[in-house]
Structure formats: structure tokens, C-alpha cells
Structure 1
Amino acid sequence: MPPSTTAPGHGGSSPSMPPIKLPPRRGRWLLAALLGLALLAGGLWVVPDWLAGRDCGGAELTERDGECVGVSDGSPAFLPTGEAAEPLTERFREVQRLIRVENTRVADDGGAAVKVGLLSTLTPDDRAPHAPVRVLHALEGAYTAQMRANHSRQLGDPAPQIQLMLANAGSRHDKWEPAVEQLVGMTDDAAPLVAVAGLAMSSEPSRAAAARLAEHGVPLVGASASADGLNAETVPGLVRVTASNTDFVTALRGYVRGRDDLDRAVLVHDTRAPDLHVSTLTEAFRRELAEELGDNPDQPFQGTTIGESAAPALFQAAVQNVCATEADMVLFAGRTADLDAFLDSLHSRPCRDRPIVVLFAETGPVIDESEQEQLVASHITVVQASAMDPAWAVDGGANPAAPAGFADFYAAYTSHLPQEDDPAAALADGYAVANHDAVAVAVRAVRVTHAAAPETALTPGRVTDALFLLHLDNAVPAAGGTLNFAIERRGDPGGKPVPVIESPPGPTRPELYVTPFP
């Protein structure tokens, strides 16, 4: 089901009273104050966490529009906001408590240590581009990498030890300045910050944050930001563990051209700026599937997740036009929440008796098994290029189809974290894997350059140079593939598997695409 388009906190209404619509986030403080006065008059002081003002709880954190931004060692914890995110609050606290405990252990040991930052959207809300549960999984994956780095030799010799610093750039990555400035300031610490991982979103603010780090010589390993050009080609020292949008679409092109029944496509794309993910995915679809698009006109829409006050995406007219083109494929360039709304409209399309394939790209699978029966009834197949295949986590991570490094990651993930969910279900969205791999690549670069000159002080510049030595015998056995980084790929990973996932699944699994190296 698509997410509600009602503002967070809408709790229903009686038949005689119109529904209450919450104002934008800046207006919530006034509403909270008014409610507080009303509750005080009744002898009650109960205001939901998502409505109450935030106490950032630390001199180094900054409150901006209800979000605590800046850098933390795990205390105080960054928390999600919104009514739907409330059940995850304690799990957010717990994983950050574990990170703080490990950071404290490393500091107390007094041995050689460095800091690695995790720059991400750590205070998500119900309408953010990355849902709170994905951000939780991102934190879990990063912590798993820290523990593997410090307590095993799977990411190289366990020296220097790693402190993981959590840098919140805001729910839409648009409040990044305090976090980045603090990270840069840590490069002179006794345990210096030498690299940053994360970068969850492909957006102009994300690129600006990466550029600011680059100005100070701090390397950045992206986790799930896949926009073309968001790499070392435009930002020195920026590499990433995810495939690019062109790689994703290349995998989809191979799928399309391997089927005789697919030959006519129409492009449905988000026009709401700024969203580098959508704009570069749109261009990749146009370039790589130009033959299938022919002269069919584009079907634009206004997306809902980058802007905080976005109206619901409306698709009825686009769906009618899709039917008019007699296309057998839709190339959907948008974000997951808008895909859900588009599929809802597609279920009631005028040409419902004609099968249609929707092509999409995202870090992890987006279609739940509960939705597949309706897709079958509506003759819809969603075909997604992904960074993660849920099948990898089957059989306790021992699936032979999984990348070589996945089993060791799975074992560490399940041993270092309390498992409230089925691990396979928690890993399915791909965000634990992506953020684990981003931290793991940063750690491998640290360890490679330290081993080459153990008596020389570690600096961000040395780690930047080492990133482009992570290939051949120094390739990273990451959870999402054995990753190679070379100058020729401009910071994009070589050897990265890109599964193509069908929902509902077909009789045979599509051929696996692997990014080229060099």
C-alpha cells in the first residue's frame, strides 16, 4: 500500500468534525504549544514525541526545523520523527548505544585509533526519501562493519581501531553544514577523522556536502547514492559501493532485450527538483532504451518525497496516456513512494487486460509478497534493478548465489545485533548491506595505507590515495560483492553484482549483471 498522503500525526476525526491537517514542520512548534496549554488546563502533560520539541541533548548538536543535526558518538541518539516511526525509536536508541559503547572501548584502550564518519539522513520522518526502517538498517550495517573491523581480521589487520562517528545531515540531507564542519574539525583530533562513509541520497545537497568534504581533502565512500556523476569524476575522493544509475539501467536493458515480447516503452518521470537520482535515471533510460522509447511522449509528474510540502503525486492522466501509446513497458524514473502511487493508478488503467512491465531501479526490492496477487490480477510485472537480492540472505546467509563476502557479513550482523526481526527480512531492503560496505571500504583503505607505512601519521589524504588501490589482490570482499576501485571507473565499483528482480517472479531468474572492471 502507498504511504498516506496525510501529514504525519493525522489521527482521524469524528463524523461531525473535519479532519485536522498538521502544518509544515515549522508550524508544529506552535501547534505543540497550543496543545500543551490545552492539556495543562485538563491536568495532563502528554505530548507525543513526534509533536514535542526536540532537546538535542548535546552542545555539539544543532536544532534546525525540529531536527538535531551535527555529529554524535552515539550519545545523544538521533531519532526518527512521525507517528509511523514511533515504534522504531527504541531500536534507534539501542544501535546507537552499541556504537557509543564500542567507541568508548576503543578510546579507553589507548591504542592507535582513527575516526570514520557516517554522514546520512539519521532523523527521517514518515515522508522522507528514506523511510525510518531503512535508516535503522543503515545504522545496523555501519555498526556491523565497525565491529568486524575492530574484532576480526576480515577487513585487514585490526589496527588502527575504528571509532564510528554519526553525522546527521537531516531527513532530506539538506541540513548538512553543521555535520560536515564538525567532521572536518575532527581531522586534527588525537584519533583523527580520516574518512567518511554514507551519503544516502542522490540530491544537490548531497553533492554539496561531498564537495565541502573534498575541499578539505576528506574522502567519502557513498553507500546508496547512485546518481550518475556523483563520484570522483565531479568530486575528488568520492567513491561509492553502489552501482550507478547507468549501470542499473544497463542491467534492465539486458533484461528487456532478452525478451521477445517487449519492444515499446514509455517514460514516466519525476520533474520535481532538485533530485539527482531521478534526473540521471531519466537520462539513463532515454539513452540506453532509446530504441524502445521511439517517439512516445514522456509522462511527467511531480514527486512527493524530496520537498517537505509536496502534494500527492497524481497519475490518472499519465496512466491513460500509457494505455494510448500501447506500450508494453513503463520506464519509471522516480522514488519508491511515488512508484507505489503509480502502481495503484495502474491497477485501474483502461487497458487493464493488456500485460505491462514497469522497470525501476532502487537499492533494495520494493514489492512485498502481499502485493503480488494484485499485480497478477492486473497483468503487471515490476522489474527492478537492485543492489541487493533477498535470496542472498536465505539459508542463514549461506546461499551459494550470494557474493563471496556475504556469509561473513551475515554472521557478524546476526551476532553483534539484537535480532528482533527475521534477519533475512531486515536485510532485504539493502540498506544494511550498502552502509556496511561503505564503512568496510573506508576501513580497508585505512588498513592498506597504515600497513604500508605504520609509523607515519594517518591522514585523510593518505586514505584517499589508498581508495584507488583497492582492486585485484586488494579488492574488498564486501557483503554486496567483491568490489574493485580504479581510476578508470572514476570511483564507481567494478565487479558489483546488479540483480534484476521480477515481481511476481517468472519461471527463471534473470541473468545477473556485474559492473565492468576496469
Structure 2
Amino acid sequence: MTTLIQPPPPGYRKWWWIPAALLGVALLVAAAIWLPGRFATDNRCADGVVRTAEGGECVGVTDGSYKFADELTDIENRILAQNSAVEQSGEPYVSIVLLTPMTSGSNAEGNVTMAGILHRLAGAHLAQLAANETSIWQRTPKIRLLLANPGVDFAAWPTVVDEIEARRVDERIVAVTGISFSFQNALDAIGELTRREMPVIASTLTVDNLPPWRGFLKVSPSASEHARAAAEFLAGSDDRILIVRDDSPADQYGRTLAEAFQARFPDDPQRLVERPETFDSKAGDVSIAFHMMMPNICRLAPRTIYFAGRGAEALEFLTALATRPCNDALVHVVTADDMPYYQLAEVPAGKALETGVRVLYTGLVHPQAWEDHPDRFNPFSVEQFSPDCEGPICYRNFSDGSLDDFAAIMEHDAVVTAVQAIRNAAAFVPEVKDSGPVLQAMKGLHSDRKFLGASGTLSFENGLPMDKPIPILEAKLGAPPEYIGLP
């Protein structure tokens, strides 16, 4: 019987599994790349703008081509048009980023309002136009204005700061302005920007005890300066004063106000009524704390209440005060600059003014102060904010004309300060394209290099403004605030 001998298989059949394995790996890699993109939610709103997972806000940086809210369409289109004109001019230019919330969130009475956002953008755009189209300053480099939304509470600041850094070279970003709230997230954003050697000029940031950030300035007086101005205003009377203080661990504003106010009366402790009444804005439901204060307020009968907290909570406090059992007793409520973001006639808090309550607050600027003290303000900027302004560089051309919340004026002056540093630097270097020359020039904005803005003198020491006027204003129902005077 013959046994058949089978020849060995060809070599290529012994290694058939290798190309099959390689094909399998390739398919797995392709699936890993394609499937997540196919089934995951796209969080991109536009170039440089993404949607947050938490609140659904679109955060990031735009030149005005992406609209963060429908209400911002007109002003963003104007900024976009000016940015395009700068790029097409053929002249040297740099970019300034306005970093501030561009969305107001769901709470209509929160710290961030759409009216305030509109005013901030309009004030910054006014400064951009003045820098690019008037002969008051050296004319170059021209200024592009980028808009950066960190979210209503600045929670997305890391994403936005990274986006600013990614655009820094290509878009010649040399400064960041805005940072208008003293949320911890906002302070963290400043810290990271300055760590990256990006100049920051804050607008209405009022918190005290800031770190010695390199390349940081702010154009608004600190909260302690506001408190001292209020105390100075009250020092001439013999009214007994009760302090109502926000003890929130997330916002230093209330504690800063209260401590600076109390420090004004070290030799006259009898002026202050017992211990302060306190609340915690972070915990929510602040109306509970305010209503529980009313029996003490009636018993102690202070002539003046100094409210050391935010405007949103001040409204809640005034609403509770309107229901106090002793509403036949006259009382003055004095607070700080956050108050004018709200129209008392439009909210229940306005009823307090009908029950013997007078609401005073320290402001940042007022048109009457422009008239009474013209030497303390920039006449060109004042004219551009005037309701009678004529020509293309007028605030009223692209806003509702309101200045009651100070937002437009302070954002304007923050951009003006950045432009001043940029143009000063440009006088000494061939071309400003990055932040280094601007950081150097910022250090010289004092003494003989000080200048006037719409909010007063812009002269800085350790990053803080010096000799800024702080007017005392009175809130009115359905009307602009009344100017009381400068302390």
C-alpha cells in the first residue's frame, strides 16, 4: 500500500494571520476615531467657541462674527466691521480682548444682566473707534477688539484663557480688558493670564487685597475705597448705623466693604449698632435671612443701614425692608457701586422707597460730576458719551444711551488704558506685536504719564488707580439716580 507524502504548504500560507491581524487593528483604530465623532454630541458653536456641558453656554473668543446672544447682534456686527476695516487698512495693528460674561444666565436679577453686557460692549467699542479714527492719540498701531465669553460666572475661564493663548501670535493679542466681577473664577483667570505674561486691565473689579500680579491694572476704585467714601459721607452726621454683611465664602466683596467701613469709626464705636447682621449669598434663599433681621432692625431703630453686599442681594433686602413692622420709621440704606445695575421701579424692592426708605450708594461716575468738576475728566470722552454728541464716534449711536450702571464708562476706560500703554510703547519700539513692550509701558502710567478718562484720573500705583472720584448717588423710582456730590 502506497503512502502519499503531502508537500509542505507554501510559506505565505503559514503567515496568513499577519495581514489579517493588521487589517483588524486598522479597523479598530478607524472605529475609535470615527465612532465617537459619529455618535458624540458636537460641542462646537463656532471657530474658537464651544458649548459648556454644565450650563449649555457658548464660551470662547470671537472677532464679532459669532453672536453670543441675539441682543448683541448689532453691537457685535459693528465691532466685526471695525475689526475688518483695521485688517484691511494695511497699517500695523494689535488686538485687545474684552473678557467679560456675554450671557446673562437664567436669573433676570443676577449680577450679570443683558443691559450691562450691552453697555460694556458699547463702551469698549467707543474706545476702539476713538483710538482708530481720531487724532487725539498717536494713530498706530490700530486696535482690533476681540470678545471673550467665560460664561455667566466665569466657570469656563480655563477654556477661554487657553483660546486666547492659542490666538496670541496670529492675532497679535497684547492685552486683556474686562474682568468686571470679583468672582473667585475671575480672579483665577487674572492669575493665569498674568502668569502667561499677558497684560490685564480690569474695569469694575473692586475687590481688595489682590495678589501682586505682574502686568495687572484696574481702573475702578477698590471696594474699600467705596466703603471709605460712604463712611466719609456719613461722618458728618450722628446717625446710628447697622451693618448688614454678606459672609459668602465665594465672594469677598461684602466682607471687604464691611471691614473698610467699620475701620472709619475706630474712635466712635457708639455709631455702630451692636453686631452686624449677616447673610450668605452663596447658600441661596437670602430672603429668609433678611426677613429674620426685621425684628432686630425695628428694635435697634438704626437711622442708617450700611449694606455690604451685591446689588442682587440688596434688592432682596429692600424687598424685605418694605415689609418691616416698623415701616413708619425713616431709614437710609447706603451701599456700594453694584447697586445701579438694577432699576428699582421694575422690581418689588422699589416698594421700600414708598415706606420711608432712602437708598444711597457710592458710584463710579455721574454726568453731573462731569459738569461740576470738568477738570477731573477727559473732555473728549465726556463729549463722546454726551446725548448731544454728533458724528460717528458717539456712544448713543450704538446703545440705549444709559450710563446709570457705569458699565460702558468703565469698560471704555479699561480699553483706553490698554491703548495708552500700547501707543506709549509704540513710540519706543519699531513695531508692537506682542505683550512685552506693553508690559513695560504699563509701569509708566503714573505721575507725568497719568491721563484723564471718562471716569477721572488714570494713574496707577501697584496696579491700583489713584485719586479716582467716587460720587454719592441716590436711587430713584423710574428715574436715573440723583447726584448728591463728591465726598
Q: TM-score interval w.r.t. the shorter chain?
A: 0.7 to 0.9
* 1:176 is aligned to 2:157: yes
C-alpha distance 477-153 of structure 1, shift in aligned 2 (>3 A): farther
Preserved CA contact (<8 Å) 1:147 1:416: no
Q: Distance in 1 between matches of 2:43 and 2:280?
A: 34
* 1:159 is aligned to 2:135: no
Aligned to 1:445: 421
Aligned to 2:30: none
Preserved CA contact (<8 Å) 1:75 1:96: yes
Shift of 1:206: 0.8
Preserved CA contact (<8 Å) 2:219 2:464: yes
Instruction: Work out which of the residue numbers 458, 462, 466 in structure 2 matches 1:494.
Output: 466
Aligned to 1:224: 204
User: What do you get for the CA RMSD once the two structures are aligned?
Assistant: 2.8
Q: Distance in 2 between matches of 1:187 and 1:415?
A: 28
* 1:430 is aligned to 2:406: yes
1:167 match: secondary structure = strand
Aligned to 2:486: 512
Q: Which moved more, 1:411-420 or 1:98-107?
A: 411-420
Shift of 1:113: 0.7
* 1:404 is aligned to 2:377: yes
* 1:105 is aligned to 2:78: no
* 1:77 is aligned to 2:67: yes
Shift of 1:428: 1.5
Aligned to 2:358: 381
1:110 match: secondary structure = coil
Query: Number of residue pairs matched?
Result: 428
Aligned to 2:315: 340
**Structure with larger Rg:** 2
Deviations 1:62-94, CA, capped at 9 Å, x for gaps: 211211111111111112xxxxxxxxx34x111
Q: Which moved more, 1:138-147 or 1:476-485?
A: 476-485
Deviations 1:358-396, CA, capped at 9 Å, x for gaps: 11001563575858995554221212011122535xxxx
Aligned to 2:49: 61
Shift of 1:500: 0.8
- Identical positions, percent: 27
Deviations 1:181-210, CA, capped at 9 Å, x for gaps: 121233322x41111100011111111000
Shift of 1:498: 0.5
* Matching residue's letter, 2:261: F
C-alpha distance 171-188 of structure 1, shift in aligned 2 (>3 A): same
1:495 match: secondary structure = coil
Instruction: Work out which of the residue numbers 192, 195, 199 in structure 1 matches 2:172.
Output: 192
Deviations 1:193-248, CA, capped at 9 Å, x for gaps: 11110001111111100000011111110111100123xx4322211111101110
Preserved CA contact (<8 Å) 1:116 1:163: yes
C-alpha distance 170-54 of structure 1, shift in aligned 2 (>3 A): farther
Preserved CA contact (<8 Å) 2:291 2:320: yes
* Matching residue's letter, 2:285: A
Shift of 1:415: 4.0
Preserved CA contact (<8 Å) 1:390 1:428: no
* Matching residue's letter, 1:282: A
* 1:311 is aligned to 2:285: yes
* Matching residue's letter, 2:259: E
Shift of 1:421: 6.3
Q: Distance in 2 between matches of 1:354 and 1:413?
A: 51
C-alpha distance 436-420 of structure 1, shift in aligned 2 (>3 A): closer
Q: Distance in 2 between matches of 1:235 and 1:167?
A: 21
Relative to the length of structure 2, the TM-score reads 0.81
Q: Distance in 1 between matches of 2:393 and 2:436?
A: 34
Q: Distance in 2 between matches of 1:412 and 1:143?
A: 17
* Matching residue's letter, 1:340: L
Instruction: Work out which of the residue numbers 113, 117, 123 in structure 2 matches 1:141.
Output: 123
5+ residue gaps, structure 1: 1-52, 80-88, 393-397, 514-518
Shift of 1:293: 5.7
Aligned to 2:16: none
Aligned to 1:251: 229
2:139 match: secondary structure = coil
5+ residue gaps, structure 2: 1-40
Shift of 1:130: 1.6
C-alpha distance 433-292 of structure 1, shift in aligned 2 (>3 A): farther
Q: Distance in 2 between matches of 1:147 and 1:339?
A: 36
Shift of 1:445: 0.5
Aligned to 2:114: 132
Q: Distance in 1 between matches of 2:42 and 2:102?
A: 14
Preserved CA contact (<8 Å) 2:305 2:333: yes
C-alpha distance 284-126 of structure 1, shift in aligned 2 (>3 A): farther
- After superposition, residues 280-295 of structure 1 pair within 5 angstroms as 280-289=256-265, 291=269, 294=272
Preserved CA contact (<8 Å) 1:129 1:172: no
